[in-house]
Structure 1
Amino acid sequence: MLAFEYIDTQSALDALVAKYQQAELLVLDTEFVRTRTYYARLGLIQAYDGQTLALIDPLAVQDLSRFWALLANPQIIKLVHSCSEDLEVFAHYGHCQPQPLFDSQLAASVCGLGHGLGYAKLVEQLLGISLDKGESRTDWLKRPLSDAQLQYAANDVYYLYQLYPMLKQQAEQQQRLDWVWEEGTRMTAGRLQQPDLEHAYLKVKNAFQLTSHQLAYLKVLAKWRLEKALARDLALGFVVKDHALIGLAKKQPRQLSDLLKMNDLTEQEKRINGRDLIKVMQSADLDNLPEPVDVLALKPGYKAAFKAVKNQLALICEQQNIPTEIFASKRNIHDFMQWHMDGRSKKLPLLLSGWRGELAKAPLLTLDLTL
């Protein structure tokens, strides 16, 4: 059984933060619930500095500001595993991002231990310890939490502390420690920005199918949906689904009776939001139409060019023993090709920047790509 402090009072949290201020390394994890909400609902925060393992109850402690400030302390290394969702939690609840950041999953990946390794798998691989994952589906908002649930949460930071020197040493030996720090900086960049209401329509699936005239309607619809989702803390799809927005933009019903005949919307969407949707569509600015969404993948030479880039990157990954998923993802290739199509004049894509650029810049820029 692991010993831990359960932090459920302000005085206990303040004392904990004072201890952690002296730490060189702080392991972090969060437990949350997300079903229908836009933001994850935070249920527990785990932290460990090698001496004090703490389980912080955010439902009991109202003011976490000193703890959030701790995460921004550049003198303390923050250690996490597969941190994308944790970073969302820190941004929303703490308006902060941990720096400097060391992601153990990322470190294992660039060191050739395997891509996307789960925490339990990595612990078993490096420490030879099998962790019980029986509490992985816990409702972390329910109180009180059982002893088994608390032990499960404590395990998530206790063994991660032990993994750090092993992963750091391997990264140093392979001269890839700078890659891990660089990725930590990249993963936290831009997370404190507010959702972009004006360009929400660009994230609607199949927006490229629409004309400029139709996009004008989609733009106001997507903005309305995002505002509604944020106000009600509701996942976008539980306000109105993407394909319904596309259908509305294409058919442009002028009155409620027209909307009620559409098959694109569910009966619930019609009942709850029908009148609002008609009103929103009437606000579309048809005098200043959006630019058509240019889909690079539809261009005649795209498939051949994509394959050429992918093959070149696969060769680099094989030579360097780097998983293609982290280095040559479809998104990374697409962004490079978009940059190439735009005349190579805009901001360098990820494949040509930092440690990736050191490996891929020369080979990629010599490719003969025709789009």
Structure 2
Amino acid sequence: MADIQYLTTPAAIQEAAAWLHTQPRLAVDLEFDDMRHHYGRNLALIQIYDGQTVFLLDPVPLTNPGEELAPLWAVMGDEAVEKVFHSCKSDILLLDELYHVRVRRITDTSVLHTLLAESDNNISLGRLIQSELGIEVDKGEQKSNWLKRPLTEAQKIYAANDVLYLLELADRLTAKLAALGRLHWAAEENRALEDVRYTRDERPYLRMASKYRIMPQEMPLFRDLYLLRDKVAQELDRPPYMVFSNDRLAELVRDTPRTAGDWRAARGLHPELKRSPYADQLAQFSPDNFVPVPEPPLPAEARRFPFRRRLNGEKAAQADAREQFLMNLKTAVSQDMNSYVANLVLSNRLIADIIELGADAALRPWQQQILREVTQNRGLDYGFIAQPFAWATQR
């Protein structure tokens, strides 16, 4: 076990950040609470390993984390310092959302593992450490409350383990990729992670699975109840599910309490909802009181009409021919390389994108190279799939 430094003051964090800025390579991980114990997404701990020392930087005791962690954010944005993560998208989205931090020079060990194309690409850090390094890491604290203080020694050790093996793991996976001639694959995929940015979802209720349990005309009530639940959750600093569950949301829409007394007697609601002012707001959702405001239409760019469903006749036949070409090409990649590589370059999602947008726009250069080589070896015409579908360019 490396030395662990647990830092809780601005001065200590600034001193550590100054040292870390001089290092060429760091292993990085975050612990955060995502609507589990508190409202919203909250940064709970930053773990960084420089090859000798694990720094546990605690934002919770800070008065102004955004400002007091600024020296560390400078390290995150410095292209001269390589940052090694495992499955980093959630981490970099959190930093962008909360602190407008854009992480540069990323190496993601989950990306490296995926590009080896040896097995299922969805692997946890613990399983990857065990399979590559032969070390079993205790994951017992994975679901603990990371915002609760003080942290236990078990939590600190768990947090340290999340970065302690990342540098060695990245070296092992990089060597394997080099032997396969795939380092440029990893470079392109890791560089693309720098462009992953947080965007606010203005209609999060449309992503709820429980919306499929209601009728279309019930969407205004579903939306307004969802928004009230979110408001109450924020004011109470509790996750929305603690106000009432997603399943209960759909049930309240389908079988809405008719009176204030019915709302107070309704099961599964947080006690605060049965007191003023929330009880009065809930009463406005009763059938005799509720005035539905129709859900505004989505802007054109946000409408998700599958490309193929917009086609008919000759155009549909042309799209079918393109799809069949791609399916045959996927079989050829499986035969020439393996099925895992075939899925990396021609997954169902990518095939749909290529049919509409063309391979040159939908794929990264390393993926295009594979398809060019396979089509050339098979006497096929890569140009048939390279450009956007003719209909798509004429809209």
Q: Is the 8 A contact 1:306 1:333 kept in 2?
A: no
Residue 111 of structure 2 is aligned to residue 106 of structure 1: yes
Q: How does 1:1-371 map to 2 (within 5 A)?
A: 1-34=1-34, 35=36, 39-62=40-63, 63-114=68-119, 115-193=121-199, 195-197=200-202, 203=207, 228=231, 241=246, 268=269, 274=282, 282-284=292-294, 294-295=305-306, 308=324, 309=326, 312-313=329-330, 315-317=332-334, 319-321=336-338, 322=340, 326-337=344-355, 340=356, 344=357, 351-360=362-371, 362=382, 365=385
User: How many angstroms apart in 1 are the aligned matches of 2:77 and 2:184?
Assistant: 20
Q: Distance in 2 between matches of 1:242 and 1:350?
A: 40
Shift of 1:123: 1.7
**Residues of 2 paired with 1:204 and 1:103: CA distance?**
30
Runs of 5+ consecutive residues of structure 2 not aligned to the other structure: 373-381
Per-residue deviation at 1:77?
1.0
Give the Å deviation of 1:349.
8.4
Q: How far off its partner does 1:350 sit?
A: 6.9
Equivalent pair of 1:350/1:356 in contact (CA under 8 Å): no
d(CA) in 1 for partners of 2:299, 2:164: 51
Q: Which residue identity lines up with residue 320 of structure 1 in the other structure?
A: M
Q: Per the alignment, do residues 326 and 171 of structure 1 end up closer, same or farther by CA in structure 2, a change over 3 Å counting? A: same
SS of structure 1 residue aligned to 2:333: helix
1:102-160 Cα offsets, whole Å, 9 max, x none, are 11011011113432222122222222222222332322222222222211211111111
CA distance in 2, matches of 1:57, 1:9: 8
Structure 2 CA distance for partners of 1:148 and 1:106, relative to 1, 3 Å: same
Are the aligned partners of 1:17 and 1:70 in contact in 2 as well (CA < 8 Å)? yes
Alignment length (residue pairs): 352
User: Alignment partner of 1:4: what SS?
Assistant: strand
Distance, in Å, in 2 between the alignment partners of 1:222 and 1:316 is: 50
CA apart distance, 1:90: 1.5
Per-residue deviation, 1:44: 1.4
Q: CA deviation at 1:225?
A: 7.3
Alpha-carbon separation, structure 1, partners of 2:240 and 2:185: 34
Show structure 1 runs of 5+ residues with no match: none
The offset of 1:290, in angstroms, is 6.3
Q: CA separation in 2, counterparts of 1:221 and 1:51?
A: 52
**Aligned residues of 1:80 and 1:101 also touching (Cα < 8 A):** yes
Q: CA deviation at 1:306?
A: 11
Bigger Cα displacement from structure 2, 182-191 vs 39-48? 182-191
Shift of 1:39: 3.3
Q: Which amino acid is the alignment partner of residue 54 of structure 2? A: L
Q: CA contact under 8 A between 1:312 and 1:363: conserved in structure 2?
A: no
Indicate conservation of the 8 Å contact 2:210/2:250, yes or no: no
Deviation of 1:57 after TM superposition, in Å, equals 0.9
Scaled by the length of structure 2, the TM-score of the pair is 0.68
Distance in 2 (CA, whole Å) between partners of 1:216 and 1:277 is: 13
Query: How far apart are 1:172 and its partner, in Å?
Result: 2.5
Greater shift, 181-190 or 239-248, is seen at 239-248
Q: Is the 8 A contact 1:96 1:192 kept in 2?
A: no
- Aligned pair in 2 of structure 1 residues 313, 245: CA closer, same or farther (>3 Å)? farther
Q: Which moved more, 1:103-112 or 1:160-169?
A: 160-169
SS in 2 for 1:129: coil
Query: What is the aligned-residue RMSD (CA, Å)?
Result: 4.8
- 1:141 counterpart letter in structure 2: L
Worse-superposed segment, 290-299 or 34-43: 290-299
Give 2:375's aligned residue. none
My pick for the range that moved more, 59-68 or 317-326, is 317-326
- Given the superposition, is the C-alpha separation of residues 128 and 289 from structure 1 closer, same or farther in structure 2, using an over 3 Å criterion? closer
Q: Report if the CA contact (8 A) 2:20-2:50 is conserved.
A: yes
User: Could you list the per-position Cα deviations for residues 203-230 of structure 1 after superposition, in whole angstroms to 9, with x for gaps in the alignment?
Assistant: 455989999x969959986995798599
* Cα deviations by residue, 1:285-323 (Å, 9 ceiling, x for unpaired): 87x786675356878989x88984556435425633435
Cα distance between partner residues in 1 of 2:226 and 2:360? 28
Is the 8 Å Cα contact of residues 221 and 281 (structure 1) preserved in structure 2?
Answer: no
TM-score by length of 1: 0.72
Task: State the one-letter code of the partner of 1:175.
Answer: G
Percent identity reads 24
* Preserved contact between residue 220 and residue 284 of structure 1 (Cα < 8 Å): no
